[in-house]
Chains A and B, each alone.
Chain A
Amino acid sequence: MPLDNPKGQSFRLVGSRPDRPDGIDKVTGRAKFGADMSAPGMLVGKLLRSPHAHARIRRIDIKKALALPGVKAIVTRDDFKEIEGDLRDVSRNVMARDKALYDGHAVAAVAAIDTATARKALKLIKVDYEILPHVTDVEEAMKPGAPVLHSDLFTQGVEPTPKKPSNIAKRHEFGHGDVAKGFAQADVVVERKFKNEATHQGYIEPHACLASVGNDGQGELWVCTQGHYAVRNVCASLLGMDVSKLRVTASEIGGGFGGKTTVFIEPVALALSRKAGKPVKIVMSREEVFRASGPTSSATVWVKIGIKKDGRITAGDAVLKYQGGAFPGSPVDMGAMSAFACYDLENVRAVGWDVVVNRPKQAAYRAPGAPISAFGVESVIDELAQKIGMDPIEVRLKNAAHEGTESSYGPTYGVIGLRATIEAAKVHPHYKAPLGPNQGRGIASGFWFNFGGQTCVSLNINIDGTVALAVGTPDIGGSRASMCLMAAEELGIGYDQVRTIVADTSSLGYNDISEGSRVTFSTGMATIQAARDAVKKLCGRAAQMWGISPEAVLWENGHAKPAGANAGDFPPLSLADIAKVAANTGGPIAGHCEVNAEGAGVSFSTHLCDVEIDPETGFTRVIRYTVIQDAGKAIHPSYVEGQYQGGAVQGIGWALNEEYIYGADGKLQNAGFLDYRIPVASDLPMIDTVIVEVPNPGHPYGLRGVGETSIVPPLAAVANAVSAAAKVRMTEIPMSPPKILKAMGEAQRR
């Protein structure tokens, strides 16, 4: 759906900052999250999880547990049929089969009358494990002789296909030109290896669901998720149910960031409910969230970039190794595609290796894969700028991708806003502000693809002229406010006259997951089309009442009007006037749209970061941070700024504090927020934001998704700032105080 007016648009409501429709519910506690739902006769579900990183499960004895009074059902691998295809690994992650593949892998589950009974029953389940050697480090897992997780995993994308299984699932390669030739033309070449630890999305609300399957095989599921349609389809497949027999309702969501785009406990709760004949609620503990949901990859990244003294980059090369947990599917392909996406390069290559290890299966985390590769590339760009004595902003401007650039992953860019973000950074007061002792400044840019997807909405005109908009994409970042704004804009009514709800899976056609920065783009596009559909019908009703042709009616400022003098002289009819008599003019009035939205515009961001290091302790404080990002068109600027700030904060946590720590025994050592430190408000300065608007030609209002790009630059922006302050290049994150002290000490000794 193309941009309505490429020469410039003006809006009545879009771009304003009304109150959020879910705000009061959330601050008063009225909003219902995953754990807030109850049902008569409800049982408590609890999972037994593997205490071993890698073990063959010889036998599971549930007899004693089942005999415990109050225990109503137990499920194990025997209750989940083997399935082939895309969902095989999902099913095996939900419940271990022949092997437990990581510390925390689900082995059995109990439904009992209360929590105490369920816990007691878990202790009575006897699992006979044969402990196997394990591996949790990505490079160790790639070595010949490493413990092999899957005997049927043979590396894809290499020639010839290996005859022996290994932990290397796949090789990806992207790029163009001749990197060797490019490096030969360079005046300066920098080559470095970087390392990052795995992090968790850190959503505040743990996974929770309430499942109820009746004797007739019909099921209901209340769940905290980013995509209830996907949950329905996956659960139905895993449990052999008809899709139509399972209705899924999405609760309010206390954060997801990609981590709630898959299933963990939902099929288990349904299986327990089906077996017990009663509703079953499962709520993960925080420890379970860390051990057994989907963190991101840890990785090693090698980057080599060559540059001329005039600042022109001649070649870029990268090798990325990402572990994706116990199953294939790390986001290394997207890491490789996005690594050099900010630059207009003649010679570029990025190779990615997808590796399995004995850790929980990774899940998406905001721009999956991209922050990791950007950390390496943007750090080396920073170092090259220093070596040739050029301002890092000038180096980026000299090489920035633009309309017509052949991207590093292939397609030629259309209209993009990278250069606009860098130029805005250059003139921002932050960039010129003086720095004090032990302080340093970093800059980094980042890219994300954005996409659209399947979307279905219904816009119903109520009898009093208000509007009920039903969408199928859980609101993870303020989308209900944006939808209200877009519907009201189209209909010519007030923001408060539209109420947007997230409908259950039986009320609307399929909707893809709220991911990929797609909701404001694609649900917004569908809302605009549904509103235009409703306007057409409203004009038709007015035409009926006036006895003129529908083509002779136009919609303006919330009213139907005769299109011109020839159409007749009739007083305008408001939306409320037409709605009031809908029963007499043909019945309910509604607009609909079913679309597979395409045309999402790519997004770019540039971040500025100032830090101060305590030279005695190595403790780093972010003292100023600015996010500049292209939104295409900000529908509700406060939410856009919130997305910018949230991505930056998560990236700062990844850069400075957060890490999964595994012991030599393969067990997670820090499964809680006391030992896994995410930044809180008191740790940070106010994150400043600048919204750049370079309209996306693929959306009627020109908007681009904004949810993910903001987490791409911070790892490098913070690392560049710390490197400047510490006067030594930091190549491992998180840059915890001991690492900074060690690097500073080594630099001084040199």
Chain B
Amino acid sequence: MVQVVLWGSLKSATGGATKVEVEAANIRELLSRLGEKHPGLKPQLDRGVSVSIDGKIYRDAWFQPIPPGSEVFLLPRLAGG
């Protein structure tokens, strides 16, 4: 099980929870299971998010492994100038 911390305003899509748990071994599985378990998150997931695993932020890497016990955050998709 991966515990994912969502940014505050997403809690309206998870019944008020800012920490949710899903079974996932990599980022693709994580995003897919989050969408299945919490359909309210789907529009944001489709628009794009970043995923932080143990302090490293990933924007697109579907197959980035999520080691057991990792610190995982869902973040808005980063943009820059």
Give the contacts of B1-24 with A (CB-CB under 8 A). 5, 7-10, 12
Q: Which of B9, B58, B75, B80 contacts A517 (CB 8 A)?
A: B80
B81 close to A515 (CB less than 8 A): yes
Chain B residues closer than 8 Å to A266, beta-carbon distance = none
* Binary interface encoding of chain B residues 37-77 relative to chain A, with 1 for a CB under 8 A from any of its CBs, else 0: 00000000001000010111111110010000001010110
Name the contact of A411 in the complex, choosing from B47, B64, B73 (C-beta under 8 A).
B73
Check if A158 sits within 8 Å of B12, measured CB to CB: yes
CA of A411 to CA of B71, assembled, Å: 7
Chain A residues whose C-beta falls within 8 Å of the C-beta of B12 in the assembled complex: 157-159, 161
Main secondary structure of the interface of A (DSSP, over half): loop
- Other-chain contact of B80, A158, A351, A454, A516 (Cβ < 8 Å): A516
Contacts A368-B81, A596-B60: A172 and B55 contacting too (C-beta < 8 A)? no
Q: How far is the CB of A365 from chain B (nearest CB, A)?
A: 5
Inter-chain contacts of B47 with A (CB < 8 A)? 86
Chain B residues positioned under 8 Å from A411 (CB to CB): 52, 54-57, 71, 73, 75
Contact A257 B81 (CB under 8 A): yes
Decide if A175 is an interface residue (CB 8 Å cutoff).
Answer: yes
A173 x B78 contact (CB < 8 A): no
Min CB distance, B40 to chain A, in Å?
10
Q: Judge whether B81 and A261 touch: CB under 8 Å.
A: yes
**Of A35-43, A120-128, A331-339, A489-497, the one with at least 4 CB within 8 A of chain B:** A331-339
A458 to B6, CA, bound (A): 39
The answer, yes or no, to whether A443 is at the interface (CB within 8 Å) is no
B2 to chain A, nearest CB (A): 15
Query: B76 to A333, Cβ gap below 8 A?
Result: yes
- Is B56 a contact of A409 with CB atoms below 8 Å? no
Does B79 contact A516, Cβ atoms closer than 8 Å?
Answer: yes
Task: Kindly list chain A residues whose C-beta atoms are within 8 Å of the C-beta of B75.
Answer: 337, 409-411
- A516/B9 contact (C-beta < 8 A), A412-B54, A451-B59, A596-B61 known: no
Known: A412-B54, A414-B56. Contact between A368 and B8, CB under 8 A?
no
Q: How many residues of A contact B (CB 8 A)?
A: 52
Partner of B79, one of A172, A331, A349, A454: A331
The reply to whether A598 and B8 form a contact with Cβ atoms under 8 Å apart is no
Question: Whose C-beta in chain A lies nearest to the C-beta of B47?
Answer: A86
Chain B CB within 8 A of A170 CB: yes
Is A451 touching B78 in the complex (CB atoms < 8 A)?
yes
Q: Which of A333, A367, A707, A708 has the most chain B CB atoms closer than 10 A to its own CB?
A: A333
Who on chain B is nearest to A173 by CB?
B8
**Residues from chain A with Cβ under 8 Å of B55 in the complex:** 411-414
B10, B76, B79: residue with the most chain A Cβ atoms closer than 10 Å: B79
- Chain B residues lying within 8 Å of A337, measured Cβ to Cβ, are 75-76
Please determine whether A364 and B9 come into contact, CB atoms closer than 8 angstroms. Answer: no
Q: Bound state CA distance, A367 and B79, in angstroms?
A: 9
Q: Report B-chain residues with C-beta under 8 Å of the C-beta of A451.
A: 57, 59, 78, 80
Closest Cβ neighbor of B73 among chain A residues:
A410
Smallest CB gap from A410: residue in B? B73
Q: Please tell me if A195 contacts chain B, counting CB pairs below 8 Å.
A: no
Residues of A within 8 A of B57 (CB): 411, 449, 451, 598, 600
Instruction: Give Cα A517 to B59, complex, Å.
Output: 15
Q: Does A651 reach chain B (CB closer than 8 Å)? A: no
A-B contact count, CB below 8 Å?
Answer: 104
A415 nearest CB neighbor, chain B only: B55
B81 cross-chain contacts in A, Cβ below 8 A: 201, 257-259, 261, 364-368, 515-516, 707-708
A536 contacts partner chain B, Cβ-Cβ < 8 Å: no
Q: Chain A residues near B9: list those with CB within 8 A.
A: 156-158, 170-173
Residues of B within 8 A of A364 (CB): 79-81
Whether B8 and A174, one on each chain, are in contact in the complex, defined by CB atoms closer than 8 angstroms, is yes
Interface residues contributed by chain B, number (CB under 8 Å): 25
Inter-chain CA distance A449–B60, complex, in Å, is 16
Nearest Cβ in chain A — how far from B18, in angstroms? 9
Q: List CB contacts (< 8 Å) of A332-365 with chain B.
A: 333-334, 337, 349, 351, 364-365
Residue on A nearest B5 in the bound complex, by CB:
A410
In Å, the complex CA distance between A410 and B19 comes to 12
With A157-B12, A449-B57, A598-B58 already in contact, the answer to whether A334 and B7 are too (CB < 8 A) is no
Task: List the B residue with the shortest CB-CB distance to A363.
Answer: B81
> Which residues of A in the span 397-416 have a Cβ within 8 Å of any Cβ on B?
409-414
Inter-chain CA distance A157–B54, complex, in Å, is 26
Q: Could you give, for residues 287-302 of chain A, a 1 whenever the CB lies within 8 Å of some chain B CB and a 0 otherwise?
A: 0000000000000000
User: Within 8 Å CB of A454, what residues of B?
Assistant: 60
- Whether the Cβ atoms of A518 and B80 lie closer than 8 Å is yes
- Given the complex, which residues of B lie within 8 Å of A413, measured CB to CB? 55
**Which residues of A501-539 have CB atoms within 8 Å of chain B's CB atoms?**
515-518
A734 at the B interface (CB under 8 A): no
Which chain A residues border B60 with CB–CB below 8 Å?
453-454, 596
The smallest beta-carbon distance between B80 and chain A, in angstroms, is 3
Contact B80–A258 (Cβ < 8 Å): yes
Contacts of A600 in B (CB 8 A): 57
Nearest CB of A to B53, in Å: 9
- Rounded to whole Å, the gap between the CB of B16 and the closest CB of chain A is 8
- Contacts of A234-265 to chain B: CB distance below 8 A: 257-259, 261
The verdict on A599 contacting chain B, using a C-beta distance below 8 Å, is yes
- From B61, B78, B80, B81, residue with most partner A Cβ within 10 Å: B81
* Bound CA span A368–B77, Å: 13
How distant is the Cα of A414 from the Cα of B56 in the complex, in angstroms?
A: 8
Q: Does A698 contact B (CB under 8 A)?
A: yes
Annotate A440-482 by CB proximity to B: 1 below 8 A, 0 otherwise: 0000000011111110000000000000000000000000000
The answer to whether residues A598 and B61 also contact, given A411-B71, A698-B56 and a CB cut-off of 8 A, is yes
* Residues in chain A near residue B61, CB distance under 8 A: 596, 598
Q: Which residues of B contact A156 (CB under 8 A)?
A: 9
Contacts of A171 in B (CB 8 A): 9
Q: How far is the CB of B36 from chain A (nearest CB, A)?
A: 21
- The answer on a CB contact under 8 Å between A157 and B76 is no
Q: How far is the CA of A351 from the CA of B11 in the complex (A)?
A: 14
Chain B: minimal CB distance from A341 (Å)? 12
Closest to A413 in B: B55
Q: Which residues of B contact A698 (CB under 8 A)?
A: 56
Instruction: Note all chain A residues with C-beta closer than 8 A to B80.
Output: 258, 364, 367-368, 448-451, 515-518, 708
Give complex CA distance A454, B58 in Å. 12
Judge whether B52 and A334 touch: CB under 8 Å.
no
Known: A156-B9, A259-B81. 11 other contacts (CB 8 A): A157-B12, A159-B12, A174-B7, A337-B76, A364-B79, A368-B79, A411-B57, A453-B60, A516-B81, A517-B80, A707-B81
Q: Which 7 A-B pairs have the closest CB atoms?
A: A258-B81, A516-B80, A173-B8, A157-B9, A410-B73, A364-B81, A411-B52
Residues of A within 8 A of B (CB): 86, 156-159, 161, 170-175, 201, 257-259, 261, 331, 333-334, 337, 349, 351, 364-368, 409-414, 448-454, 515-518, 596, 598-600, 698, 707-708
A-B contact pairs, 9 of them (CB 8 A): A157-B12, A173-B9, A201-B81, A258-B80, A258-B81, A364-B80, A409-B75, A450-B80, A453-B60
